[in-house]
């Protein structure tokens, strides 16, 4: 397993301290969100990674919306084609997938069959477009993202309906109405990527991963997934890329988790 960093901000592209620090701290890969490409362009992003070639791009993270209208469906497919070209240029093998505009679905229970039809068609088409690139499409799921998939039954509906071998799940506790260990156990065979969090008082009250009274036993659920074959990224998220003290703290914790699990 490896440690990753989720880069929500685009500013790191022009901050030449960030990537060298991440690499020196033990982070192997970063997720690049769509905003960085929109602001700086693929050429600038490529330049940065050529100068920091000891850190890889673990995921390219665009924002798709297949469910609102046929127009947003078509524009999302075009966005997917562009992001796959960027992923290929960056030697990246994961494309983050949303079904809908962020927060636009109240819950999977209230989504209409028309929304489900568009979402399933869109994710299927993305998987088929991704396969020649050797890219996996990864459903990012949590209880507040407002997607078609926000719990185990809805994730499994999408996985089974799409029925593509290059469709997996980015698991990040918690899912709607579920304990994270129950979710991890049920979804383990389909999980290919992790966003790792700890919190107090429920999501999204995020605290450092090693917080003694945090509500998530990170090592326990990662160990469970490891026994089912998981060997991917443990990704730090919702931490500023320039918060070096916090990144150092979370990275040190994840290093211990990996050693504890892989040494047994």
- 191-214 pLDDT, tens digit per residue, is 999 999 999 998 889 999 999 999
The CATH topology of domain 2-262 is: TIM Barrel (3.20.20)
Q: Which of 128, 117, 119 is nearest to 150 (CA)?
A: 119
Per-residue pLDDT, 164: 98
The full set of domain ranges for the chain reads 2-262
Task: Give the pLDDT confidence of 100-135 residue by residue, as tens digits.
Answer: 999 999 999 999 999 999 999 999 999 999 999 999
- Type and span of the H or E element at 218: helix 218-227
- 177: pLDDT strictly greater than 90: yes
- Type and span of the H or E element at 234: strand 233-236
- Report d(CA 187, CA 107) in Å as an integer: 19
Average predicted confidence (pLDDT) for the chain: 95
Q: Which residue has the tokens 């999408």?
A: 158
- Report d(CA 155, CA 149) in Å as an integer: 5
Per-residue pLDDT, 15: 84
What are phi and psi for residue 199, nearest 5 degrees?
A: -155, 165
- 16: pLDDT strictly greater than 90: no
Q: What pTM was computed for the model?
A: 0.95
The bridge status of strand 198-199 relative to strand 206-207 is antiparallel
- Type and span of the H or E element at 39: helix 34-50
Rg (CA), the chain: 18
Task: Give the pLDDT confidence of 31-73 residue by residue, as tens digits.
Answer: 999 999 999 999 999 988 888 878 999 999 999 999 999 999 9
- 9: pLDDT strictly greater than 90: no
């Amino acid at each position: 397993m490896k440690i990753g960093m989720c880069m929500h901000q685009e500013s790191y592209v022009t901050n030449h301290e960030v990537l060298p620090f991440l690499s020196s701290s033990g982070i192997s890969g970063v997720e690049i969100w769509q905003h960085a490409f929109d602001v700086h362009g693929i050429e600038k992003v490529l330049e940065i990674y050529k100068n920091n070639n000891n850190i890889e791009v673990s995921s390219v993270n665009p924002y798709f919306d297949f469910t609102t209208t046929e127009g947003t469906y078509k524009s999302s497919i075009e966005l997917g084609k562009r992001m796959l070209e960027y992923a290929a240029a960056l030697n990246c093998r994961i494309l983050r997938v949303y079904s809908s505009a962020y927060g636009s679905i109240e819950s999977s229970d209230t989504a209409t069959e028309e929304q489900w039809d568009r979402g399933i068609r869109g994710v299927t088409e993305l998987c088929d477009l991704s396969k020649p690139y050797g890219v996996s499409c990864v459903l990012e799921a949590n209880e507040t993202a407002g997607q078609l998939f926000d719990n185990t039954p809805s994730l499994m509906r999408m996985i089974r309906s799409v029925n593509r071998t290059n469709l997996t799940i980015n698991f990040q506790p918690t899912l709607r109405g579920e304990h994270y260990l129950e979710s991890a156990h049920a979804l383990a065979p389909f999980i290919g990527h992790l966003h790792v969090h700890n919190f107090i008082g429920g999501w999204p009250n995020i605290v450092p991963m090693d917080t003694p009274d945090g509500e998530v036993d990170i090592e326990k659920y990662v160990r469970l997934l490891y026994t089912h074959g998981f060997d991917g990224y443990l990704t730090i998220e919702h931490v500023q890329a320039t918060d070096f003290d916090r990144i150092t703290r979370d990275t040190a914790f994840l290093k211990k988790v990996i050693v504890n699990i892989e040494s047994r």
